[in-house]
Amino acid sequence: MSRVLWCLLAVSLGLGWCGRASAQGLIWSIPEEEGRWVRYEGTYSQVMKRPDDPAGDLKLSWSRHLTIKALNTEEGEIDGLTVPCRWLEIKMITGPVKEGIIDAGPGGIRLYKILVPVEAISKVKITDDNQVLDADKVLATYVKIAKGYRKIGNESAAPIETGVFQVYPALTIVEHYRELKELGREDVNVREGTVSANHLQGEMVTEDEFTRSTNTADIWKSEDAAAPFGVAKWQVSLLVERKDSTESRDAFQPLSEVLEEMNTAEVGESAESELVLD
């Protein structure tokens, strides 16, 4: 996917690279062994609504791979305290498939390396009333990081200055949902076999005088070894609607819809970092 097209899609969705910080939607646990990794494969598709165009809606679709690696341990500073952390690396590749390989283009490869406090991940829980709470029993709206770097396409790696990891929308349209409803245990088919998973469902709605975005997710959370970071698969839709500022809320009309469907493709060991820092 070209960098220009990627940015145009982000603008059409009303998205920016300064969105809400979000990590827990993809990472619910960190494997103890260094080098453990998982790769998800699936599709990222978009429909641009064009009700007045004789050609109809514009439909776009790409293949997507997302890899998460658990690397070495290192102490890091969070809120002035030195705590045990792990380096995680997340790589996303998106683009059309040509001769069996994703042709990502300069903007379709995104690589993040983050130093995450282990406790911040392991102690996030879903309460009986569906709230997602952190170790201090407050809404887990973001995950702090001690250090982090990002690399987009052929650009040089740049430090993440915010102190939080923003996975949405740069890596996925999975958000950090304030509430997740548990729909029960289900068997999920992955390439390595079948895993037992807890089916979670979340929704995030944001609205201003011009746009309304509705993000709806189905996430299958698993403790199986085939899901080393806690997620077996996910399906997310993002509907964006628009109206004039002077119109009432019932005047919202669909502008675009994005669908992301990802499933575990492979799990392995002995992973090494791709983002080597000087």
The answer as to whether 242 is a domain residue is: yes
pLDDT in tens, 206-252: 999 999 999 999 999 999 999 999 999 999 999 999 999 999 999 99
The answer as to whether 276 is a domain residue is: no
The answer as to whether 278 is a domain residue is: no
The answer as to whether 27 is a domain residue is: yes
The pLDDT of residue 264 is above 70: yes
The answer as to whether 273 is a domain residue is: no
Rounded mean pLDDT, 38-60: 96
Average confidence score pLDDT of the chain = 88
Q: Give DSSP secondary structure letters for the chain.
A: --HHHHHHHHHHTT--TT---B-TTT-S---SSTT-EEEEEEEEEEEE--TT-TT--EEEEEEEEEEEEEEEEEEEEETTEEEEEEEEEEEEEEE-EETTEE---TTSEEEEEEEEEHHHHHT-EE-TTSBEE-TTSSB----B-SEEEEEETTSPPEE--SSB-B-TTTT-S----SB-EEEEEEEEEETTEEEEEEEEEEEEEEE-SSEEEEEEEEEEE--STT-TTSEEEEEEEEEEEE--TTS-GGG-EEEEEEEEEEEEEEEES----S----
What is the pTM for the complete model shown? 0.88
The answer as to whether 274 is a domain residue is: no
Whole-number pLDDT of residue 39: 98
The answer as to whether 121 is a domain residue is: yes
Whole-number pLDDT of residue 233: 97
> What is the number of structural domains in the chain?
1
The answer as to whether 272 is a domain residue is: no
76: containing domain: 3-267
